[in-house]
Amino acid sequence: MGEMAMSFAALAGFVVGAVAVLFYRNQIEIPGKADAADDAETGALPQGVASVLAVLPSSAVVLDAHDRVLRASSAARAFGLVKGDRMMAAELLALARQVRRDGEIRESEIDVAGHKFGQEVTNFAVRVAPLGSHGQVLVLAEDQTERRRVEAVRRDFVANVSHELKTPVGALSLLAETIQDAADDPEAVTRFAGRMQHEAARLTYLVQDLITLSRIQGAEPIPTPGQVPIDEAVHDAIDHCNTKALAKDITLVAGGTEGLRIWGDDELLVTALRNLIDNAIAYSPEHTRVVVSARPAGDSVEISVSDQGIGIPEESLERIFERFFRVDAARSRATGGTGLGLAIVKHVAVAHAGEVSVWSKEGSGSTFTLRLPAFGGSAVPVQRSLEAANG
């Protein structure tokens, strides 16, 4: 379990040591009371042990000699490890009995049915240690589900980046060799040089998207937010995408309520809108329209990008914001897509304390909607507020 296991072991060692000190203090500092050993035999915890367990961030459980729960942290009950005075996880009970028999500390990993919303299984790093000499056992369980998920995402990300970089780099190498062999054929050299420029541009787009994603994916707040006019951001994004749209005779239309503003970063908003419009163009047939519109929504502003494209299959809707996921890999690569556009949109929304959603139907097109906090806490058009002030 690496560094996490080492820190977890250190924490467990601290707890066991602290509890042992409390046992010792109770034995020598409370004259006139029954022996601390008698308390242990009757299932009582020494004074102060509960206070030590209460400050632990992990799930902590103390079992007596008969596997009854003497003390359980709120985290242990929230995760469903403990119910009443019973330990519900059979694997933990088996470990506790082994520890009680031989007195050796044991570590393991277990999976239990998830008790958090949307979480099917919770994975715990577990450490079980004897507590005193009367059969009591301390169980510490650290939820590492999110850590494992992040590690899996990181591995997938590295593998995907390696694959995506390998394709244009390999193509460039092959084209360079071909040009060398065709040095006496100017027409072939020109043709292959054009292909090299195409692959180099694809590589550039991928690197730029990776840099953008790494800059915003930490879900950190925007360093210097300010008011961002939606109209300007929409027109800037459309200007960036006009060349691609013209190549397919796709009309880009701006509409909705004018004069709206959000609280955020104009460059990031333009980046998100550009990616949504590029995506709409790539998955739309020729001679269609892509509409970008804004409207007030209480304390937020909603910006929608709608197309008349091929739509998204229902089974893919939950995954389209994942990095490198493609509904149609062949079409995406043919149009130079990097597979990072929608992931960037999602992280831009998160950075603005907003969200992005999608409606789509196969054969009817898609609508992506960014919902972002309005400047001033209310989505009021600038022109309307000025008229009210003058009226």
The predicted pLDDT at position 236 comes to 95
Residues 225 and 350 in one domain: yes
Contact 378, 385 (CB under 8 A): no
What pLDDT, on a 0 to 100 scale, did the predictor assign at position 202?
A: 78
Burial of 205 (0-12, 13-18, 19+ CB in 10 A): middle
Q: What is the CATH number of the domain that holds 100?
A: 3.30.450.20
Eight-class DSSP state of 90: H
Per-residue pLDDT reduced to its tens digit, 4-52 = 444 444 445 545 454 444 443 443 333 334 444 444 444 566 666 667 7
284 with 367: CB under 8 angstroms? no
Specify if 180 maps to a domain.
Answer: no
Dihedral sign from CA coordinates of 23, 24, 26, 32: positive
| Residue range 196-239, pLDDT digits in tens | 888 888 788 788 778 777 777 765 667 778 899 999 999 999 99
Instruction: Look at residue 165 and tell me if it is in a domain.
Output: no
**Pair 371, 226 in one domain:** yes
**The domain containing residue 84 runs over which residues?**
53-143
Based on the structure, what is the number of domains in the chain?
Answer: 2
Tell me the C-alpha to C-alpha distance, in Å, between residue 26 and each of 34, 46, 50, 137, 277.
10, 7, 13, 18, 70
Query: Is 298 part of a structural domain of the chain?
Result: yes
DSSP letters, 187-229, are HHHHHHHHHHHHHHHHHHHHHHHHHHHHHHTT-PPPSS-EEEE
Crossing angle of helices 186-216 and 145-181, rounded to 10°: 160
Q: Which of 94, 126, 143 is the last residue of a domain?
A: 143
* Residue keyed to tokens 């994916």: 217
Distance CA 209, CA 161 (A): 11
How confident is the model at residue 358, as a pLDDT? 94
Residue 133 and residue 233 share a domain: no
In the predicted model, residues of the chain with pLDDT beneath 70 are: 1-50, 114-119, 153, 218-221, 326-338, 379, 382-391
CB atoms within 10 A of CB 354: 20
* pTM recorded for the entire structure: 0.57
Q: Which of 97, 120, 143 is the last residue of a domain?
A: 143
Which residues contact residue 122 at a Cβ distance below 8 angstroms, ignoring those fewer than 6 apart? 79, 111, 112, 113, 114, 115, 116, 143, 145
Residue 83 lies in a domain: yes
Helix (H) or strand (E) holding 330: helix 329-334
Out of 92, 114, 143, a domain closes at: 143
CA–CA dist 159, 153 (Å, integer): 10
| Same domain membership, residue 238 and residue 115 | no
The per-residue b/e assignment along 82-113, b for 16 or more CB within 10 angstroms, e otherwise, is: beeeebbbeebbebbeebbeeeeeebeebebe
Radius of gyration of the chain (CA): 30
Whether residue 132 is found in the same domain as residue 242: no
Residue 272: which CATH number? 3.30.565.10
- Alpha carbon of residue 301 to chain centroid: 24
Of 130, 104, 125, 127, nearest to 12 (Cα)?
Answer: 127
